[in-house]
Structure formats: C-alpha cells, structure tokens
C-alpha cells in the first residue's frame, strides 16, 4: 500500500512540476529555451499600413503596430544582440513607415545593430524603413528606390452620370469633400493636395538624407529621387544600399556588427508569417504595386 | 478502492482494476481524473509545441494556437462520452452486452498513461533529446490503446477478439466513409471537368 501511494504521489508531483514548467514556458513565448546570443529577424512582407489589424484572411498588409511591437521586444530582450529586418514590400502609407522607422532608431540607440535584407522588392515606404538601419543588403535583382509620394483620386463623375447617380453633398466647410469621386478637383484643392504631397516627399527625402549620410550626396539624391526604381546593383552603385547579398549574408553582417563570432548566433524569427500567408493568400504580388485604396501612399 | 489504488491499478494492474471499476462505477472521481489529465495534457502540449517550434512552423498566431489546444481538449472531453456511447451500442447490437456507465468510467481512466507520455516527452524535449521523447509518446499512445481495449473487454464482459472488433469498428467505418467521400469528390470533379471541356 505504501509503495502504491509513493508511486502515485511521485507521479502526481512529477506531472504538476512538468505542467508548471510548461505553463511558464508557453506564457513566456518559449524564451526558456533561448541560450546564448540571438540575431532577431523581423519580416516585413507586404504593403505597410497603419491599421492595427489585418482582415480575417490576413490580406490587409503589414500592420505597423505588430512590427513596432516586435522591434520593442528586440530592444527589451537582452539575449538579442542584433536585428535583421527582412523587407519584401512595395511600400505603404507614410505615417506607418515613419512610425516603424522611429522604433528602429530607438533600437539602434540601444546599441543593437540593425541590418536590412531586401527581398524581391523594397521600394518606397520599404526603403524609408531601410534608411533607419545601419546596413542595407540587397540582392542584385531586388527592386528598390521609388523615393516619392503619390495620391490618386478617381474622378467618376461621368460614370455616375451614365448610371443616373447624383451625389448630394452637405458639408461644413468648402474643403470637407476634397477628393470626392463625384467631381473633378478645383485648382485650389489641387494646390492644397500638392502641398501635402510635397511635404510628405520632403520628409521622405530628409529620412533618406539622414540614413544615407556620407554614402550619397544631396545633389545626387535629388537627381534620382523622382519616384524611379532601381535594381539592387544599380542602387549599390548609387549608394542607396551598402552591399549585395542574400538573407544569410545579412545575418552574417548582423553577427559581425554585433561582435558575435560568425555562424554562432541563434537566429530567431520574431514574427512568423500567419496561417493565411502560408496558404499563399497574402503574398506580395506585382499587382499589389497598384495599392490604390489608401489616402497617401509611398510607392 | 481509494484514489491511489485506482490510479496505480489502472497503470499496473489494469484487468483487476477495470473489473472493480465496472461494478463500482465511480463516475465523479473518474471524470475528475479525466479532466485533470486533459488540462495537464493541453498545458504540457502547449509548452512542448513552443520547445519544438511546432506553433511557429504552423504559422498560427500564438493566441489562436493556444485556443485551438483548449478546443481540442474540450473536444476530447466530449469524445469520451461519444466513444462510450458508440462502443456500448455496438456491444449491445453485436453481443447483447451493455454497461455504458461502467465503460465510461473505465475509458476515462484508460487515458492516464497519455499524460505521462506527454510529460516525459516534454522533459526530454527540454533536455534536447526529442527523438527519445517521441518514442515515449508513441509508447504511451500504444499503452492507452491497450488499456482502452482492456476497458472494453472488462466493462462489457467480452472476449479479447470481441473487444478488438468493437474497438476498431468505428475506425473502419470512418475509413470507409472517408474513402467514399474522396471517390465522390473525384467523380464530381471529373464530371465538372468534362462539362467545362465540352
């Protein structure tokens, strides 16, 4: 009887201890298994938006809030010594890119080097982010650049007329329906919006100037900052990127910059692609470049 | 029998213990043990998934993966009643034997080795010996199947071959249904392909 009781008690204690450890482990997101020096990887895969949530199919782009949260995690975790930002994005909204870039700057101020690894495309808002990293690594065939800001408004006045739709507008001020699809822009409105775009563009230029200081002259930058895109190789020649190489080269670069012995760091992807992305439902497609449903975009 | 004797008995003297349980039918105690087993299994399974990066490889958001674990746990709880009902019905139809409550008690307790397997597997995964953990999990799974068949045999007073037959009938039926479904989908796909092709 004593033997039976001993066996059962030992078993129950064992199960409770293991259960407790498992609970602690899973509530810490598996950190318990992390040993040594870590290079954190943050994937930015898709159009960058300021929205805090993506739609149910995960097709709403990359949420700035999610990315900032991961950057904050990288800043707070002492085992993460460097971060690689893997960007595969045609761009996004100005404010979202700005927010993420500011968070990257804070991370760098903590003394953690940040390396950009460009995928198929790292244009516009994606390049804005890259300018807030210490080293930019592109593939020879990466499409990058597109330094510029765009706003497109469809004028559907004629279509509405053909369909017999007449839009009634009641507004509190003369510019409240600026950008309405039911009429053409007035000259005054066009100027207002142009000023807005110019201001966003200037902010973009300042960001590139700050990020690429000493690597490209202001004069050279102004010549090419007209929205055109470049291959990775062209971008290297112009000084828009620091080196050519793939994702693993970027990891090695991050190790080197953090003073970690080559090939010894653990690589931890801080934001895994979601379930729907894995089913191919939110991949960056070339037609996503025509990302037209946002107010101000950088592409 | 006390709690200690029941737990020890199910693991190391299952035949005699199941014989006792089918008569005594301590439903409350067995369901309590079953619930504890399910909760511990879910918690340990979640921890193990982190260690083995299973959640990451599935790409599920952590909250969804965690919720899914609990849904699976709840589903197992419901499945216990479904299993006991189906087995009892089958035994009644085929052999004229019926002891649903006794069978429910025995089946609930037959799952005990499963949680031991999960716990050992988790400890070994933490120690970096995942393959050994998987072997233990597999062994525990086999142990549970053997105990479930013994539970059927003892609770319904069947022969071993009778218990085996009853145990596997639902799986065979499910397999046939799945096969039929695949064939039907295939036929439907082929027909629509022909229709499109003209």
Which structure tokens are listed for B49?
């998934």
Among A11, A15, A25, select the one facing B50 at the smallest CB separation.
Answer: A25
CB spacing of B4 vs A5 below 8 angstroms: yes
CB spacing of A4 vs B47 below 8 angstroms: no
Read off the pLDDT of each residue in A285-299 and give the average, rounded to a whole number.
Answer: 41
Which structure tokens are listed for B59?
């790409």
Which structure tokens are listed for B104?
């429910």
Q: In this predicted structure, what is the pLDDT of residue A295?
A: 43
CB spacing of B50 vs A30 below 8 angstroms: yes
The average confidence (pLDDT) of chain A is 85
pLDDT value at A67 more than 90: yes
Which one is predicted more confidently, A286 or A241? A241
Read off the pLDDT of each residue in A209-215 and give the average, rounded to a whole number.
Answer: 94
Q: What residue in A sits closest to B113 (Cα-Cα)?
A: A11
% pLDDT > 70, chain A: 84
List the pLDDT tens digit at each of the 198 positions of chain B.
778 888 888 888 888 898 888 888 888 888 888 888 888 888 888 777 766 655 544 555 555 666 777 788 788 888 889 988 999 999 989 888 888 888 899 988 898 888 888 888 888 888 878 788 888 889 999 999 999 999 999 988 889 999 999 999 999 999 999 999 998 888 877 766 565 544
Distance from CA of A22 to the nearest CA of B (A): 4
Q: In this predicted structure, what is the pLDDT of residue B25?
A: 85
- Burial class from Cβ neighbours inside 10 Å (0-12, 13-18, 19+) for residue A77 reads middle
Q: In this predicted structure, what is the pLDDT of residue A18?
A: 86
What is d(CA A135, CA A211) in angstroms, rounded to the nearest whole number? 10
pLDDT value at A296 more than 60: no
Any residues with CB less than 8 A from the CB of B132 and at least 6 apart, and which? B124
Which stretch, A26-35, A245-254, B84-93, B150-159, has highest mean pLDDT? A245-254
CB spacing of A8 vs B119 below 8 angstroms: no
- B interface with A, Cβ–Cβ below 8 Å: 3-5, 7-8, 40, 43-51, 53, 56, 58-62, 64, 66, 115-116, 119, 122-123, 126
Which structure tokens are listed for A24?
């602690």
CB spacing of B119 vs A19 below 8 angstroms: yes
Any residues with CB less than 8 A from the CB of B75 and at least 6 apart, and which? none
Q: What residue in A sits closest to B50 (Cα-Cα)?
A: A30
Q: What is the DSSP string of A150-212?
A: B------HHHHHHHT-------SSTTTTTT-TTSPPPHHHHHHHHHHHHHHHHHHHHHHHHHT
Catalytic residue among A124, A200, A277, A282: A124
Read off the pLDDT of each residue in A207-235 and give the average, rounded to a whole number.
Answer: 94
Whole-structure pTM value: 0.57
Measured between beta carbons, the chain B residues lying within 8 angstroms of A23 are 43, 46-47
Among B38, B141, B156, B144, residue whose Cα is nearest residue B94? B156
Measured between beta carbons, the chain B residues lying within 8 angstroms of A26 are 43, 46-47, 49-50, 66
Measured between beta carbons, the chain A residues lying within 8 angstroms of B113 are none
Catalytic residue among A176, A191, A210, A213: A176
Q: In this predicted structure, what is the pLDDT of residue A132?
A: 95
Phi, psi of A240 (to 5 degrees): -80, -20
Q: In this predicted structure, what is the pLDDT of residue B61?
A: 55
Q: In this predicted structure, what is the pLDDT of residue A196?
A: 94
Among A297, A245, A257, residue whose Cα is nearest residue A128? A297
Among A19, A28, A36, most B C-beta atoms within 10 A, so best to mutate, is A19
Tell me the pLDDT band of A27, cut-offs 50, 70 and 90: low
Tell me the pLDDT band of A156, cut-offs 50, 70 and 90: very high
- Burial class from Cβ neighbours inside 10 Å (0-12, 13-18, 19+) for residue A109 reads exposed
Q: Is A24 an active-site residue?
A: no
CB spacing of B49 vs A275 below 8 angstroms: no
Q: Is A124 an active-site residue?
A: yes
Among B109, B85, B83, residue whose Cα is nearest residue B99? B85
pLDDT value at A124 more than 80: yes
Domains, chain A: 36-298 (3.90.226.10)
Among B23, B21, B45, residue whose Cα is nearest residue B31? B21
Lowest mean pLDDT among A36-40, A141-145, A186-190: A36-40
pLDDT value at A248 more than 80: yes
Among B4, B43, B64, select the one facing A23 at the smallest CB separation.
Answer: B43
Describe chain B by its helix, strand, coil percentages, rounded to 5.
90, 0, 10
Q: In this predicted structure, what is the pLDDT of residue A210?
A: 94
pLDDT value at A280 more than 50: no
Please write the tens of the pLDDT for every residue from A2-24.
777 888 888 888 888 888 888 77
């Amino acid at each position: 009887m004593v033997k039976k009781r001993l066996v059962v008690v030992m078993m129950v204690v064992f199960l409770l201890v293991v259960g407790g450890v498992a609970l602690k482990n899973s509530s810490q997101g598996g950190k318990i298994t992390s040993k040594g020096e870590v290079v954190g990887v943050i994937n930015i895969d898709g159009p960058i938006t300021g929205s805090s949530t993506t739609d149910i199919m995960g097709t709403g782009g990359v949420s700035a809030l999610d990315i900032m949260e991961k950057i904050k995690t990288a800043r707070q975790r002492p085992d993460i010594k460097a971060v690689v930002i893997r960007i595969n994005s045609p761009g996004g909204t100005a404010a979202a890119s700005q927010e993420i870039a500011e968070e990257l700057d804070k991370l760098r101020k903590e003394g953690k080097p940040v390396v950009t690894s460009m995928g198929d495309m790292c244009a516009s808002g994606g390049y804005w982010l890259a300018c807030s990293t210490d080293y930019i690594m592109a593939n020879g065939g990466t499409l990058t650049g597109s330094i510029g800001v765009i706003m497109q408004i469809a004028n559907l006045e004629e279509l509405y007329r053909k369909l017999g739709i007449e839009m009634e507008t009641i507004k509190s001020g003369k510019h409240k329906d600026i950008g309405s699809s039911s009429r053409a822009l007035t000259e005054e409105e066009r100027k207002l919006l142009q000023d807005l775009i110019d201001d966003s563009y200037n902010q973009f230029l300042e960001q590139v100037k700050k990020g690429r200081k000493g690597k490209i002259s202001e004069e050279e930058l102004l010549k090419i900052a007209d929205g055109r895109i470049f291959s990775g190789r062209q971008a290297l020649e112009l000084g828009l990127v620091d080196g050519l190489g793939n994702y693993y080269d970027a990891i090695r670069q991050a190790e080197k910059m953090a003073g970690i012995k080559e090939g010894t760091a653990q690589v931890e992807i801080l934001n895994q692609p979601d379930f729907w992305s894995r089913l191919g439902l939110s991949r960056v497609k070339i037609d996503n470049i025509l990302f037209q449903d946002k107010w101000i975009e950088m592409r | 029998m006390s709690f200690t004797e029941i737990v020890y008995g199910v693991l190391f003297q299952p035949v005699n213990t199941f014989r006792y349980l089918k008569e005594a039918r301590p439903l409350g105690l067995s369901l309590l043990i079953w619930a504890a087993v399910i909760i511990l299994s879910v918690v340990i399974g979640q921890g193990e998934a982190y260690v083995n990066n299973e959640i990451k490889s599935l790409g599920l958001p952590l909250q969804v993966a965690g919720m899914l674990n609990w849904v699976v746990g709840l589903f197992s709880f419901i499945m216990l009643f479904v299993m006991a009902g189906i087995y009892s019905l089958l035994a009644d139809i085929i052999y004229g034997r019926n002891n649903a409550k006794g069978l429910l008690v025995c089946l609930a307790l037959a799952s005990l080795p499963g949680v031991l397997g999960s716990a050992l597997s988790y400890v070994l995964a933490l120690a970096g010996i995942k393959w050994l953990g998987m072997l233990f999990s597999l062994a525990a799974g086999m142990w549970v199947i053997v105990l479930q068949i013994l539970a059927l045999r003892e609770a319904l007073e069947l022969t071993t071959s009778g218990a085996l037959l009853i145990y596997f009938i639902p799986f065979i039926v499910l397999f046939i249904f799945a096969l039929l479904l695949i064939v039907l989908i295939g036929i439907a796909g082929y027909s629509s392909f022909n229709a499109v092709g003209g």
